[in-house]
Amino acid sequence: MIGTLHKLRCQGCGASVPVREGERFVDCTYCGSRQEVVIPESQTAELSARCGELETREELRRLDAEWQKYLRSVSVTLPSGEIQPPGATVRVEGFMVGIMAALFGAFTLLKYSIWWVLVVIPVIGTIAAWFFITAGMKRERAFNAELKSYHAKRKELVKRLGDREEAFP
C-alpha cells in the first residue's frame, strides 16, 4: 500500500515521489536518485502526542475492565440484577448468621440439657457472629482500599488525557 506521509519532491528532477509507509529511503522513478525520507519535526511531535493519547486511552480502558472484573468477583448479585459490593450489610449478615447458628444449636441440643441452651449455645452464636462480622469487615476494608486506588489511578489517567467530559463510573 502506498501512502503519503508528506509531500516529497525529488531533489534531482522535482517529480513527486510516492513513499511507502515505513520507508526510510526512496528512489525517484523518473531520474533514479536516492533520497532520505525525513518527517518534519512538527509532524513527528503530532504523531508522538497522538500515540501517547492512544496509549493512555488503552490504559484507561484496561483499568476500567480490570475494575469491573474485580467488582464482580467481590460483589453479590441481587435477584434484581443489581451488583452490591462489600459494605455495611455484611455486619448485619454476620449477626444474622450468628443468631441462626445459636438458634439451630439450641433446638438441636435442647433434648440433652437446658444448660446447653443457656450457656454453650450463646457462646457458639457469639463466636460465629464475631467470625462472620470480622471477615466481612476485612473484605469491606480491602474493597475500599482497592476502590480508592482505582479512583486515584483513573483520575491520573483522565488528567493526563486532559478530558473534562470523561466521567467516573
DSSP 8-state secondary structure symbol assigned to residue 118: I
Give the tens place of pLDDT for each residue, 42-87: 666 676 777 888 888 999 999 999 999 999 888 877 788 888 787 7
DSSP 8-state secondary structure symbol assigned to residue 116: I
Residues of the chain with pLDDT under 70: 1-7, 39-45, 47, 88-95, 105-106, 109-111, 113-121, 163-169
Q: Where are the domains of the chain?
A: 1-39, 44-84, 86-142
**Residue 115: half-sphere exposure toward Cβ, Cα within 13 Å:** 0
Residue 70: Cβ-neighbour burial (10 angstroms; 0-12, 13-18, 19+): middle
Cut 0.75: pTM above it:
no
CA 124, 125, 130, 133: dihedral to nearest 10 degrees? 140
State the Cα–Cα distance between residues 159 and 129, nearest whole angstrom.
44
Q: Which residue type sits at 82?
A: E
Residue 58: Cβ-neighbour burial (10 angstroms; 0-12, 13-18, 19+): exposed
State the Cα–Cα distance between residues 95 and 41, nearest whole angstrom.
67
Q: Are 39 and 3 in contact (CB under 8 A)?
A: no
